[in-house]
Amino acid sequence: MLADFNFRVIFEYLPFFLTGLKSTFLISIISIMLALVAGIIACACRISGIKSIKYPAIAYIEIIRSTPLLVQIYFLYFGLPTLGLRIPEIQTGILALMLNSGAYIAEIIRAGINSVDEGQIEAGISSGLNYFQRMRFIILPQAIGVTVPPLLGQAIVLVKDSALLSLISVMELTRCGQTMTSERFMPSEAFLTVAFFYMCIYFCLKALADWSQRKLIFREAY
Amino acid sequence: MMAFYFGKLVEIFPFFLKGLSMTVQVAFISLVTCTFIGFVLGIFRSGKNILIKRLIGVYVAFVRGTPFVVQIFIIFFILPEWGIQLEAFDAALLAMAIMGSAFICEIVAGGIESIPRGQWEAATSSGLSLVQQLRFVIVPQSMKVILPPLVGQYVLLIKDTSVISVIGVMELTRVGWLTVVRIPEGLMVFSLVGALYFVISYPLILLSNYLEKRMAV
């Protein structure tokens, strides 16, 4: 089946694939950072008692979670120009990834905050701590540990999701595979190499996620 | 101009409904297949045979480590090189089945492993065969752990059907993509597409939330 698998062509295209890998890397890192900011803001709005910011946050999270990322990407890609905003594809893509992951991260952080036992909050109240002090000294230190492993899981999802940006012609890893297929007509070499690179990123992040799972979950430690 | 395009969009709305029915069809067939294969693989993955466990582990790692688009391209472009010709629709179903089964397998294996060893021992000493143990003791109890993430996974799989538009299956996203060429109102067209996806997946998200509350121990 793979008898005529052509390694020579892969080596010839290796520098090309490495630029693709680099751009996937950069896109993912920038998007996850921005998504973290978006997620923290959305979560803060979601758990606040003020209705005028709580309901928009709920709407944002639920709409993002129940529509496919590809539709969101196309929505921005075809929609922003009709509003008169002409930004490069790569920025559209990062915006879409940020908005998408932001909603999931908001839910992850909310789950982390909810995982803190009710009794501890009551203890905080009776010690005379105000809302921000309770957040700062009781809830967040515990919530962060619980949140890190699923956040790394979300990072894995985001790296894979960034492959969809190839469909709006952002030059990243998957797009490199498509380009090589159209130039040389060698889909097995192209896409198996692409898959290999994604697997490398996946295993690194997976190892990190497993490690953080072992190290940071200390809920039982009292 | 907006009103003109809106009228156009209303005119071709049946086209969107066709896309929606295609999405529902693909989603339904692949969800049923995935659930079945996923349960079988999950039971083997939590079993004792090391070789089978490792093989399933490699398969799951491959599926979880690569993007779904790349998997679709591999199936759609590479299989013909090996002499297997597939229609876009069949290739899409195959890709969905391969991807979904891996995720569901992990959920099922996690659920079965959450059952304490004592339950297995009790079932063995009651004289049940292995299949009976799974059927009457282990799987019914592990459903409590499996069901909430399973429904959540269904939502993800339904959303992933949008990606099969890249190989030309005429489903909802593809319809939106074709429409936006004629009606250059991206916001309007993809809001409509998004709304139709919302109608299918939001009830399932609510169901998943409900199950999570209900099954919490």
* Neighbour count for residue A99 (Cβ, 10 Å): 22
Average pLDDT (A23-42) is 94
Question: Which domains are delineated in chain A?
Answer: 19-215 (1.10.3720.10)
At A137-181, the pLDDT tens digits run: 888 888 888 888 899 999 999 999 999 999 998 999 999 999 988
What is the per-residue pLDDT for A164?
93
**Minimum-distance CB partner of A71 among B64, B73, B190:** B190
Shortest Cα distance, chain A CAs vs residue B131, angstroms: 33
Question: Which domains are delineated in chain B?
Answer: 2-215 (1.10.3720.10)
C-alpha B172/C-alpha B194 separation (Å) is: 9
Res. A104: pLDDT tops 90 = yes
**Cβ–Cβ below 8 Å for A71 and B173:** yes
Residue of A17, A63, A66, A101 best to disrupt the B interface, most CBs of B under 10 A: A66
Residue in A30, A7, A14 with CA at minimum distance from that of residue A176: A14
Average pLDDT (A178-195) is 87
Res. A189: pLDDT tops 50 = yes
Res. B109: pLDDT tops 80 = yes
Sorted by sequence, the CB contacts under 8 Å of residue B146 that are 6+ apart come out as B107, B108, B110, B111
- Residue B105 C-beta-side C-alpha neighbours within 13 Å: 26
Residue in A65, A63, A89 with CA at minimum distance from that of residue A157: A65
| Strand intervals (E) in A68-219 | none
Give pTM, 2 decimals.
Answer: 0.89
Q: Which residues of B touch A82 (CB under 8 A)?
A: 184-187
C-alpha B116/C-alpha B103 separation (Å) is: 23
Res. A221: pLDDT tops 60 = no
Res. B65: pLDDT tops 80 = yes
What is the per-residue pLDDT for A222?
43
Q: Which residues of B touch A188 (CB under 8 A)?
A: 74, 77-78, 81
Report yes or no: A192 at the B interface, CB cutoff 8 Å.
Answer: yes
Report yes or no: A213 at the B interface, CB cutoff 8 Å.
Answer: no
What is the per-residue pLDDT for A140?
84
Q: Which residues of B touch A68 (CB under 8 A)?
A: 159-163, 173, 197
Average pLDDT (A8-29) is 90
Instruction: Please give the backbone phi and psi of residue A128, each rounded to the nearest 5 degrees, phi first.
Output: 85, 20
